[in-house]
Amino acid sequence: MKIVVLDGYTENPGDLSWERLEALGECVVYDRTSYEESPLIAERIGDAQIAVINKTPISRATMDACPNLNAIAVLATGYNVVDVEAAKEKGIVVMNVPTYGTQIVGQYAVGLLLEICSHYAHHDAAVKEGRWEHNDDWCFWDYPMIELYGKTAGVIGLGRIGQATAKILNALNMKVLAYDAYQSEAGKAVAEYVPLDELYARCDVIFLHCPLFPSTEGMINKESIAKMKDGVILINNSRGQLVVEQDLADALNSGKVYAAGLDVVSTEPIRGDNPLLTAKNTIITPHISWAAQAARQRIMDITADNLEAYLAGSPVNVVNK
């Protein structure tokens, strides 16, 4: 059995081990392969039976060029980089990691909000630049300090991660509203379900925790922003394509949206012409909500579990049944 890991670096930059995959057969690990369609992808898969990927795409053409390939393991929840229909036609099993970062992604989302409310990093830098030492007053601040107590937060997408975020918001004594196409008792325990337009109208802060579907792509746009409260705060560490970025940048620059905390953008790595790079009151981090070592270890463990179950003839977490 030959296993090829095509882009292993972000999952394991050196602080984890591939030993469980190596125990399953010959295992070749590449730190990086192309994130765009490239003949190099098929070349590196070669005669391997299993390809392990994170963001390297596996197209129909790549599958055609790799006739021994019979399983693809994705080191992530999202699997849009794989042509799953082509894989299904060819009998190639595609497996993902459906739950690994629930708590850390919720923690990160609220962390973005707290940074917006208090600008910790900015004021830390100001102190170290000597501004406090030479200040006329015993304290100073460059941005309004925002208290979250009693404010209303909206969570769009109340799945596992949305619920984790909602629980933290409850602890901050915020009123939590939610919109989700599928309501659950677990969701009702942490938030009040409301129609989407009502959520837009009532919330001081809006979190995006929904998957990327044709129905959600570009859902944050000038029309939906117009329905929001003036001075709303937007947090997105779900998928960048949920947002029409020029519309959000315009709303930030006009003040309609007070601030945005973003860990994702539509094209990653971010392009230099992204309008959000120069928008007012915008925090952008490089898609790292998921990257705590504990979460990455869970990815490694679940991927190994997936491959062991597949090789035993009882595959789990299959996305193209």
Question: In terms of DSSP bridges, do strands 205-208 and 232-236 run parallel, antiparallel, or are they unpaired?
Answer: parallel
Question: From the candidates 209, 287, 296, 298, which is the catalytic residue?
Answer: 287
For 60, left (φ over 0), alpha (ψ -120 to 50), or beta? Answer: alpha
For 57, left (φ over 0), alpha (ψ -120 to 50), or beta? Answer: beta
The reply to whether 239 belongs to the active site is: yes
Structure tokens at 33: 């392969």
The CA-atom distances, in angstroms, between 190 and each of 18, 36, 184, 308 are 38, 40, 10, 36
In the 8-state DSSP scheme, what is residue 270? P
The reply to whether 287 belongs to the active site is: yes
Report d(CA 265, CA 47) in Å as an integer.
35
DSSP states of 290-303 as a string? T--HHHHHHHHHHH
Question: From the candidates 32, 89, 268, 271, which is the catalytic residue?
Answer: 268
Report d(CA 100, CA 43) in Å as an integer.
31
Report d(CA 82, CA 66) in Å as an integer.
14
Report d(CA 154, CA 172) in Å as an integer.
14
Q: Which among 183, 161, 16, 188 is positioned nearest to 99, based on CA atoms?
A: 161
Backbone angles phi, psi at 291, to 5 degrees: -90, 5
Structure tokens at 90: 């060819």
Structure tokens at 257: 């949206």
CB 93 within 8 A of CB 316: no
Q: Exposed, middle or buried: residue 142 (CB in 10 Å: 0-12, 13-18, 19+)?
A: exposed
Report d(CA 287, CA 60) in Å as an integer.
27
Question: From the candidates 44, 119, 239, 298, which is the catalytic residue?
Answer: 239
List, by residue number, the catalytic residues.
239, 268, 287
